[in-house]
Amino acid sequence: MVAKVAIVTGANSGMGLETTIGLVNKNVKVIMLCRSKIRGEAALQKVKAITGKENVDLMLCDLSSIKSIDDFVATFSSKYHHLDLLINNAGVVTIKRQETVDGFEMMLGVNHLGHFHLTNQLLEALKASAAARIVIVSSGAHKWGKIDFSDPFFKKSFNVAKGYGRSKLANLLFMKGLHERVAHTNVTVNALHPGAVATNIGVDRETGFGGKVVKLLVPFFKTAEQGAETAIYLATSADVEGISGEYFIDKKKAPVSKRASDPQLIEHFWRWSIDQTTL
């Protein structure tokens, strides 16, 4: 019996690491997709030590770079002929406006456009699976998110809350648009809100700024392990077999904002995303 193959983005810490551990314990072959080789290798050894299993691998990819994504997909395709599970987990929060190497505002660039391009490039591998599942980690922050096509990358005025909300709304618009496109295939796609989770998402990756705030909030938030439960559920449970195009909170279907379910916005945003990622 061929083991299921999964990719987890942002797998070296927080919910990504816990999702990896959960899947490896279910005998899924997990590819940890990480930006940093040093942090990725440390996390890889941690997963092996915790699970006592070897069905886990590390591959490098910077989701803020279209070229890096293309290079990863080429490497993956040379090693694997199918993909069963894709967990789009990685996310960033930037206090100040930053840009990716391709000129995208960092949060929309990584949280949405990087995953959008990665997923589309992996669709053939997913379709080669008997029954593939895509799981997108969004957030309740999508409810205050708005898409401004006249200034999508906040060049005029940046606000961290608006930027994060926009990127999380983008996750759901992507999920809904992808659902329509894979509706008659063996691929399903769902999204989730993990709850308020104490992770390093808001900690500056270069300076460590924000780390003390995270430590103060830990007693009031879910642990990363608890936050990963719904992602693991959507990836593996028989309860959601064949279910697609839905948004989940605590393993239950939940409503999305009106914007996130607007058919015209979903299609317009899909076409815009294609234009941005076709470099």
**Active-site residue list:** 164
Closest by CA to 23, choosing from 99, 104, 70, 84, is: 84
Report how far residue 222's alpha carbon sits from residue 194's, in angstroms, rounded to the nearest whole number. 9
Residue entry with tokens 């460590």: 208
- Conformational region of residue 247, where left means phi above 0, alpha means psi within -120 to 50, and beta covers everything else: beta
Amino acid residing at 185 = T
Q: Please list the alpha-helical segments (H only) found in 80-142.
A: 106-107, 115-127
The arrangement of strands across the sheet holding 187-193 comes to 56-60, 29-34, 5-9, 85-88, 132-137, 187-193, 247-249, 252-253
**Per-residue tokens: 137:** 């980690």
Question: Residue 142 gets which letter from DSSP?
Answer: G
Cα dist from 87 to 56, 267, 272, whole Å = 15, 23, 23
